[in-house]
Structure 1
Amino acid sequence: MGHARDPRYGARSQADLIELLAAQPLAWLVSPGGADAAFTPLPLRAERGRDGALVALRGHLARRNPHLARLRRDPQAHALLLGPQAYVSPRWLDDRTQAPTWNYAAAAFALRVSLSEAPDDIAAELQALVAQMEAGHADAWHLEEMGARYARLASGVTALRGEIVEVRATFKLGQDEAEHDFGQILQGLAANGEDALVRWMRAFDSRGGAGDAPA
């Protein structure tokens, strides 16, 4: 991420990373290099310590996935997360001499992975993921509704915990735009239905949205 070392585009706090994970949990788990390089898309949850700090990412992998063998050999991995993103067109601007760009929120987590096939660990992970994804729905689904099918599902997965070693995050959300251009970009994105990106841009806008949290 080319903007990762520019403080203008950094997370304001860990709350931004936690919100990004909650809004877009599907990430790439990556173990690069070697003949057994592995790349798996999977949902990941934030684990927070007693002080509220983000300490790990949690998820599960199918036992038939060859990525597990790689993680047992080498527990170092990366989780790559891409949140709201969209092309920004100069056609939305009064000044059409400007170049197009791309606004986005993204994070890369370096992880030290541990795996568990203990039934209690698997049950806890599956319950937590379902609870997170079903939260807020009047007709929320519960894992217990699977009945006898649950045992077959649980026997086929491995629980995963990735201790966070390093985070590089980029929230490129128009911080460098002139106020007039920023407003026109928001209008253009909103007209294209990019509501999630618009909310993040407004939240990061120090001209009027400082301190707001993306909804």
Structure 2
Amino acid sequence: MLNPKFARYGSEDVRRLIADYPLAWVVSPGAPVATATVLPLLGRYDADGRLVGLVGHMSRRRELHALLQADPQAHFLFTGPQGYVSPEHSGRRSWGPTWNYATLQIEGEVHFDEALSGPAITQLVDHCEGGRSAPWAQDELGARYEAMLGAIIGFEVTVTGLDATFKLAQDEDDEVLENLASGHPDPALRDWIRSLNAARLGPDGVLGKGRE
């Protein structure tokens, strides 16, 4: 059984993981493993910031499309920051190595609609191209865009269940936590360790400078 500290997270942690790591496994329960596929997905949130839906698109030719048309229940598996943690990173040779990671397991009901195809593409492109000095837009494809659009189908997901694990050093003592937050070689993992331990650490990974 995992430490219950790894199940303590907020809506912002969920939002950030999906935004930073949008590629998820999509699985039709009970279907052959070979029908599972990975798709980039974006989240929809209510006024309180809680995840209520997902937006995406897939090829009409995928077997998964037919399966979810027949039974719209699906599982969506996101993997966020992850990495091996050596005793060298902890600063303590007597400490055992481990793996830190963050995952989301979402259950939902899929609704396909041709009217969602264009908006789903636009939202994903805007999300991924945002911040670039010269963002690409799909209309640059010219006539090819309409042909490509006809090959895919957009969908929305109504979230019916969510479970998450954020195993990011919350169970470590102060010395090891500070060493990992400031010294692990993966900058993304360091950042997430600081975020999930913000009550103990400051933004620079130093103890005693956390949020009140």
Q: Structure 1 length as normaliser, TM-score?
A: 0.87
Task: Give the secondary structure class of the aligned counterpart of 1:112.
Answer: strand
Q: Contact between 1:28 and 1:79, CA under 8 Å: does it hold in 2?
A: yes
1:97: which partner in 2? Answer: 94
Q: Contact between 1:76 and 1:113, CA under 8 Å: does it hold in 2?
A: yes
Q: Equivalent of 2:189, from 197, 205, 208?
A: 197
Mapping for residues 1-215 of structure 1, pairs under 5 Å = 3=2, 6=4, 8-34=5-31, 38-118=35-115, 121-190=116-185, 194-205=186-197, 206-209=199-202, 210=210
Work out the percentage of aligned pairs sharing the same amino acid.
37
Q: Give the letter aligned to residue 126 of structure 1.
A: I
- Root-mean-square deviation (Å): 2.0
Unaligned 5+ segments in structure 1 are none
Q: 1:50 to 1:177 in 2, by over 3 A?
A: closer
**Which of 37-46 and 163-172 deviates more?**
37-46
Q: Contact between 1:112 and 1:165, CA under 8 Å: does it hold in 2?
A: yes
Unaligned 5+ segments in structure 2 are 203-209
Give the total of aligned pairs: 204
- Alpha-carbon distance in structure 2 between the residues aligned to 1:160 and 1:22: 18
- Alpha-carbon distance in structure 2 between the residues aligned to 1:177 and 1:32: 36
Q: 1:211 to 1:122 in 2, by over 3 A?
A: farther
- Alpha-carbon distance in structure 1 between the residues aligned to 2:211 and 2:159: 26
Q: Contact between 1:26 and 1:81, CA under 8 Å: does it hold in 2?
A: yes
Q: 1:145 to 1:11 in 2, by over 3 A?
A: farther
- Alpha-carbon distance in structure 2 between the residues aligned to 1:36 and 1:9: 28
Q: Structure 2 length as normaliser, TM-score?
A: 0.89
